[in-house]
Amino acid sequence: MVSSEKIGKRIATLRRTKGLSQEQLAELLHVSAQAVSKWENGKSLPETATLPLLSAALSHSIDSILLPQELVVLSAIYTDGQQELDVTHFVNQFVTSNRLSLIAGDQVFPQSLDGDRLKLLLITYETPAGIYSTYVLKDQLLVIDLHSTGYVSGGNELQILLANYGNEQASRSVLQKMKHYEHFRWDHFTATHELFPSLIDNEGKDYLLLVYMNTEGIHAVSCAEGEQIHYSPGRTSLYQSDSTDQQCIVEGISRLGFGRGMDCSWAGAMTLSLVSRGIDTTYERVMGDSGACWRVAFEPVWDYSSADALVVYDHSVPACTAYGIHAIQANRLEPPQRAAEKLAILEDIRNGRLPIAINLRVAPEWGVITGYLENGRHLLCRSYFDDETFSELEADPAFQTHMKISKGYLSVDHWPYRIIRLGEQTHVPSALDNLYASLRIKLDVMQNSGHSTYAMGYQALEVWSEGLLDRQWYAAADDETYSRRLGVNHFCMMALADARRSAAAYLQDSLPLVQDQRKLTALSEMAGVYGEMAALLEDFYTGMADPAALRTGGSSRQSWTAAQREKQAELLALVASLEHRGDTLAETVLGLTAD
């Protein structure tokens, strides 16, 4: 016997399962909303002519609507988390004697899903006990009867039921990892091998598949490796954002620039990269731990590159050791090698590990790569030459529009000739061990004779002083060459003053680390020596003529006289004397001298 009340309840349940309001269903059927309301309240039945449209709208056969069984599949969605097929009507045909049994897969359903993502069947069904949901992966057996109890909708937040990482060929459950990551309350996360390790024998691209319940029922969402899954406000649903292959920008990276207390461009970029990933450090500590605070180098032909912290001694190696960072360096890559390196850079950015590189914009100084646009077609950065561009284009509407897209970063103009990618962080040495390592570098860089055409340490101070006192050269030089040498001198003095200021700060901060009284006394005196040296250098540097100002007016010859050069040579001789005292004190701290 047909029961209008049971039919009405079934129509209401199927409508809600499809996410339709009474008005929306009425529009699909070309009837009034009042008619739908009467059906659902059991006051009337649909007209015979309306039944085919009702069957199509609700994805159920006319018989399953008019002759409700005790077990009915309300919704059956075959999906890979992105594409989906509504197979409700088809699956209901497998219900026999209030029992459903089928193997979900492309061979069973009339249509198939393309691609190698993991696929599954999401089922919502009704029994006399209530409405439940469940799922089954492709090619697995699904069995439901009147006694089956699945997942029930409800709760203020979604509940993750399944998390698999891999593809159709091979995958593994990562549900426990997802449960762990939920404690961090991320608003989004990127599917990477770091969060979800891939199977060692897996071939092809990996995908993260999540199945979850919320108040609306059961759902699946999927993203490819490198893409992001977002939580909705209130954490009631999940959705896959546009692929981070399109763009990924790490926001909030501070500006770089000379004259900001970070005049070693390598150490400045290194500091920003470390801080951006949550490592507690400062520019002065990076300079100290790397040993760059002790460096002095000079090229006899007077070149700006003398100020580069890595030109004669690779201070990036001890720096990475001090912070427990595994570094990957790429130097002067040929075009065929650059494509693979760029992919590695993009992956690092997606993982919040910002590479540092030299020659990103304008001139060969170090900067940090902060993100990318258009699948990596455009890399973004902070460099030591950004301020000029910002000042010049401040009122340009097109530039300001681009700044909104790039989150305030400028584009990388050149393929860098040296890149340092900062990988995983592992064992971090103690601060005292790092201090001792730094002092050993101090002895090495000051007493080493250098390599190639660059002089370093005491030899660099000698070569520099000899160049300052070469009266014959200055008398013969043309104005352009004279001005260039003035610029190099100014730049190298800036670097030396910055390095020794950092050394003094590093030593002062390290005093609490040393417990041995004799070593502490030596370290304290050494901090005083470098404090004195830093003050002398800073005082001299601030009194030097600024080459940038001279370009708009003024004479290099009048601004940089023989008397001034002689005074600077005397200062460098005093610096060498203080450095020798610093060597002796460093040896005491290291225990290299007898009592």
Each residue of 289-332: pLDDT tens digit?
999 999 999 999 999 888 888 888 899 999 999 999 999 999 88
Confidence of residue 450 (pLDDT cuts 50, 70, 90): low
- Give the C-alpha separation, 126 to 132, whole Å: 6
Q: Mark whether 94 and 207 lie in a shared domain.
A: no
Q: How many helices (H) and strands (E) does the chain have?
A: 21, 22
Confidence of residue 385 (pLDDT cuts 50, 70, 90): very high
Q: Mark whether 19 and 123 lie in a shared domain.
A: yes
Pick 114 or 501 by higher pLDDT. Answer: 501
For residue 369, the model assigns a pLDDT of 97
Q: Mark whether 61 and 109 lie in a shared domain.
A: yes
Q: Mark whether 213 and 85 lie in a shared domain.
A: no
Q: Is the pLDDT of residue 6 over 90?
A: no
- Give the end of a domain, one of 178, 209, 244: 244
For residue 594, the model assigns a pLDDT of 62
Q: Mark whether 81 and 170 lie in a shared domain.
A: no
Q: Mark whether 115 and 173 lie in a shared domain.
A: no
In degrees and rounded to multiples of 5, residue 282 shows phi and psi of -135, 170
Residue 320 lies in a domain: no
Q: Is the pLDDT of residue 94 over 90?
A: no
- Give the end of a domain, one of 192, 214, 244: 244
Decide: 209 and 177 in contact? Cβ < 8 Å. no
Rounded to a whole number, what is the largest CA-CA distance in the chain? 118
Q: Mark whether 112 and 27 lie in a shared domain.
A: yes
Q: Mark whether 135 and 34 lie in a shared domain.
A: yes
Q: What is the CATH number of the domain that holds 64?
A: 1.10.260.40
What is the three-class DSSP state of 342?
helix
Residue by residue, DSSP assigns 236-265 as --EEEPSPTTT-EE---PPP--TTSS---H
**287 CB-near residues (< 8 Å, 6+ apart):** 264, 267, 293, 499, 502, 503, 506
Residue 121 lies in a domain: yes
Residue 59 lies in a domain: yes
Confidence of residue 241 (pLDDT cuts 50, 70, 90): low
Residue 318 lies in a domain: no
Residue 239 lies in a domain: yes
Confidence of residue 441 (pLDDT cuts 50, 70, 90): very high
Provide the whole-model pTM.
0.61
> What's the DSSP call for residue 361?
S
Our measurement of the distance from residue 286's CA atom to the centroid of its chain's CA atoms, rounded to an integer in Å, reads 21
Helical (H) or strand (E) element with 114 = none
For residue 7, the model assigns a pLDDT of 81
- Give the end of a domain, one of 97, 119, 145: 145
Residue 319 lies in a domain: no
Residue 226 lies in a domain: yes
**Token pair 């319940």 is at which residue?**
213
Q: Mark whether 103 and 23 lie in a shared domain.
A: yes
Domain hosting 82: range is: 4-145
Q: Mark whether 48 and 125 lie in a shared domain.
A: yes
Q: Mark whether 8 and 131 lie in a shared domain.
A: yes
Q: Mark whether 107 and 208 lie in a shared domain.
A: no
Residue 329 lies in a domain: no
Q: In total, how many domains does the chain have?
A: 2
Question: Around Cβ 58, how many Cβ atoms within 10 Å?
Answer: 24
Decide: 417 and 358 in contact? Cβ < 8 Å. yes
